Structure 1
Amino acid sequence: MGRSGEDVEVGDIRVACGDADWVAVEWGGGYGEGMKRNDLESELAEISALGQGQVEADALLNALKGGLKHRSNFVVAKAAEVVVKRGVSEKLSDELVKAYERFCKHAVKSDPGCKAKIAVVDALREGAVWVESLYLDAARRRQMEPVWGGRVDTAGGLRCAGVNGLMAVGYGDVMNELAMLLGDEEREVRVGAARLLGDWGDAVGEPLLRLRVLCGEEDGEVLSELFGSILAVNSASGLDFVGRYLIGGEGGKQGGNEGGDDEVRRCAALAIGQSRNGKGLEWLVRSFEKELDAGLRETILMAMAMLRNEDGYGYLCDLIKDADERTAELAVRAMGIYYYDEKVREMVITAAEGREELDEVLREVIA
């Protein structure tokens, strides 16, 4: 095998020998037993290099096959990323499937965090490889890993990747799988499901998104994604639905926000702003003009700026020009998020002319 500290060649396998941290390595179609753990970085660098420059086709495929057979989930994940970058998912579909199946065995030890499995599923999806059973397995897989005081499921991202694959191949019951994700106990999964539906852009998913909101989603990150996706799939009725949550009080009762919960309203305001739906300004103005909470007023003005339309800018500039000092300052800060836009800068400076009390915030925000 060679002396400690020396590198040797064994057939197609390069073996790095060292004094510590020995791990088994599979490379070039075989296994070695003498690679130091700190050589992982060099292996990753070699795989990454395959995604750049000119590489002869057969050599590329052979090298990626070796990478996908590697025992390290980090190396396999990187190889799968290069497969996508090079557009060879279909040519390496068998190797990708085998890699997924291999990391499903003794998964907690072989693939903590599901890093390799997620990358493989993504590569298969990007190549439109029809492996319905694999996507279904990923969509329903749990991987409980030990943590301090108990165990935690680390397969949330894998479930989302699996459903994304099912969507890509037109799986007939994909809505049922999405419903399961929206009801998942893991926050990241609910966020991922909402995002998938929003990116899909089909109004057929709107009822699922609304139902998740109406069931009383309490996590702000999830709620923001739900609102954003509702607006993405149906800009008209979606705005009416989200707007009622923004208003709260009597209007919010129809949407489910009976108490006018501040976090819900904040999420609704920002979702409307991020949608850049010009008609959202009416809802934001209506909410702002009845709002007393300083924090929410600031959020609503920020959402107006995020719309990035002339009417929204005009309303904010009117506040800078005529409102009380505190409100004018909030409006300056809201428009200040686009300080790099010369047109917006000029609008703010012009609106603030003659208001010396705003000089300090102007210097801070747009100087």
Structure 2
Amino acid sequence: MPPKRSFDAELATLETLRDATPEAAEAGLVKALTNRNNFIVAKAATLAQNHHLASLTPALAEAFHRFLDSKSDPQCWAKIAIAKALAAFEYQSPEIFLTGMRHVQLEPVWGGVEDTAGPLRGTCALALVQCRTLNNHTLLTHLTPLFADKELSVRVNAARAVEQVGTDSASLLLRFHAELISLVPSLRAHLGSETPELFGACYSGVLSLDGPAALPWAAQFLLPEDDASAEAAMAIAQTQTPECFPILKAAAQRARDPWFRQCVLSAIALSRQQEGTAYLLHLIAEDTHAAEAQEALCRSAPSAETRARLGELGRPCS
């Protein structure tokens, strides 16, 4: 019972610091970061971040190393919260983030063990990019191995981190990874059914870095009409450029799979192009895939003008 009362008291004290001024909260948070309980430390790190208390950076860094032992930090709660706070404070020493990117934490679960450090590795990958002491080549060298991580969230965050590097080499790495998975069936099977989300991160990253010039490259992934193709359609739509509409229109017109055609029509609506909206309204007026076009428009937060036109066509948004 005494340990429970102590935990409850610590938690109650932290709650009082939530609404305190940063100056009033600082001393209490410094003390909380020395606590043995990982949940308390995680809460303290989050509050430090919310209060913008960059002065607590040394205490956060010390606590991170203290909780590297899996027994003291189950689920990596403390380390993840600390890494997020340090990233928010633009912490420039990369060693903590590199340690977090490599950390594997096996914890017992029913029937065996499970690695609970995936979210930590992904968080640290994104945080590493803001370390100005590392040049772009070194950043990519550290991030590339994460594309082979067994956890999808880590691979996706690795792709997003590479995008943030923002160089030609970063774009080439994302292109290579997307094409490699696409062309090697055994690798795609090994990565599993969750691969499309990783494809989407690669497509979006390349389009963000290279702009409309990369649209023909992304368009090639529309052809299989599978989940990854749907991610490509959405990535193309997110560019919201005039050049994206002809590509998506062509994909919709040749689509054989009704599900994929619906995905492409939705992408056209989300591209926010006047030509795209006019095309979808034309489909409705001609009663060609009218229900699919209506759904695509109504789910895209259409303008008052578009909603009025849908009403005139007898296809109002509910």
TM-score by length of 2: 0.88
User: Pairwise mapping of residues 259-298 of structure 1 onto structure 2 (< 5 A)?
Assistant: 260=224, 262-298=226-262
Are the structure 2 counterparts of residues 348 and 53 from structure 1 closer, same or farther at C-alpha, using a change threshold of 3 Å? Answer: farther
> Which consecutive aligned stretches of 4+ in structure 1 deviate over 6 angstroms post-superposition?
none
- Alignment of 1:50 with 2:17, yes or no, is yes
User: Pairwise mapping of residues 215-364 of structure 1 onto structure 2 (< 5 A)?
Assistant: 215-216=180-181, 218=188, 219-246=195-222, 248=223, 260=224, 262-324=226-288, 327-339=289-301, 341-350=303-312, 352-353=313-314, 358=315, 362=316
State the distance in 2 between where 1:312 and 1:49 align: 52
Are the structure 2 counterparts of residues 65 and 223 from structure 1 closer, same or farther at C-alpha, using a change threshold of 3 Å? Answer: same
Aligned amino acid, residue 114 of structure 2: V
Task: Spell out, residue by residue over 1:30-84, the C-alpha distance to the aligned partner (whole angstroms, 9 max, x if none).
Answer: xxxx6366x2xx64454244243535x2x42211111211222122112111211
Aligned to 2:144: 179
State the distance in 2 between where 1:237 and 1:44 align: 53
State the distance in 2 between where 1:261 and 1:298 align: 11
Asked if 1 retains the 8 angstrom alpha-carbon contact of 2:125 and 2:157, the reply is no
Task: Spell out, residue by residue over 1:344-365, the C-alpha distance to the aligned partner (whole angstroms, 9 max, x if none).
Answer: 3123223x15xxxx5xxx3xxx
User: Pairwise mapping of residues 95-174 of structure 1 onto structure 2 (< 5 A)?
Assistant: 95-105=59-69, 107=70, 109-170=71-132, 171-172=134-135, 173-174=138-139
Aligned amino acid, residue 139 of structure 1: M
Asked if 1 retains the 8 angstrom alpha-carbon contact of 2:17 and 2:25, the reply is yes
State the distance in 2 between where 1:178 and 1:43 align: 38
Q: Which sections of structure 2, spanning at least 5 residues, go unmatched? A: 183-187, 189-194
Task: Spell out, residue by residue over 1:237-288, the C-alpha distance to the aligned partner (whole angstroms, 9 max, x if none).
Answer: 3322111111x2xxxxxxxxxxx25222222112222332332111111111
Aligned amino acid, residue 213 of structure 2: S
State the distance in 2 between where 1:200 and 1:47 align: 37
Report the identity percentage: 29
Are the structure 2 counterparts of residues 306 and 261 from structure 1 closer, same or farther at C-alpha, using a change threshold of 3 Å? Answer: closer
Aligned to 2:48: 83
Aligned amino acid, residue 189 of structure 1: V
Aligned to 1:12: none
Q: Which sections of structure 1, spanning at least 5 residues, go unmatched? A: 1-17, 24-33, 249-259
Task: Spell out, residue by residue over 1:288-346, the C-alpha distance to the aligned partner (whole angstroms, 9 max, x if none).
Answer: 1111211111111000011012111111111111133xx01110000011356423312
State the distance in 2 between where 1:276 and 1:47 align: 45
Task: Spell out, residue by residue over 1:174-200, the C-alpha distance to the aligned partner (whole angstroms, 9 max, x if none).
Answer: 101111112212111011112223355
Aligned amino acid, residue 271 of structure 1: A
Aligned to 1:63: 28
For the aligned residue pairs, the C-alpha RMSD in angstroms reads 2.2
Aligned amino acid, residue 283 of structure 2: L
State the distance in 2 between where 1:77 and 1:148 align: 26
With CA pairs under 8 Å and 6+ residues apart, which has the higher RCO, 1 or 2? 2
State the distance in 2 between where 1:45 and 1:331 align: 53
- Alignment of 1:35 with 2:36, yes or no, is no
Q: Secondary structure at the match of 2:5?
A: strand
Asked if 2 retains the 8 angstrom alpha-carbon contact of 1:163 and 1:174, the reply is no
**More strand by percentage:** 1
Q: Secondary structure at the match of 1:146?
A: strand
TM-score by length of 1: 0.77
Asked if 2 retains the 8 angstrom alpha-carbon contact of 1:160 and 1:189, the reply is yes
Asked if 1 retains the 8 angstrom alpha-carbon contact of 2:49 and 2:88, the reply is yes
Asked if 2 retains the 8 angstrom alpha-carbon contact of 1:231 and 1:239, the reply is yes
**More helix by percentage:** 2
Asked if 2 retains the 8 angstrom alpha-carbon contact of 1:338 and 1:344, the reply is no
Asked if 1 retains the 8 angstrom alpha-carbon contact of 2:126 and 2:160, the reply is no
Are the structure 2 counterparts of residues 240 and 49 from structure 1 closer, same or farther at C-alpha, using a change threshold of 3 Å? Answer: farther
State the distance in 2 between where 1:222 and 1:45 align: 41
State the distance in 2 between where 1:240 and 1:113 align: 42
Q: Secondary structure at the match of 2:181?
A: coil
Larger Rg: 1
Aligned amino acid, residue 31 of structure 2: G
Q: When the two structures are aligned, how many residues end up with a matched partner? A: 304
Task: Spell out, residue by residue over 1:89-137, the C-alpha distance to the aligned partner (whole angstroms, 9 max, x if none).
Answer: 2x112211111111013x2x22122111011122122212232222221
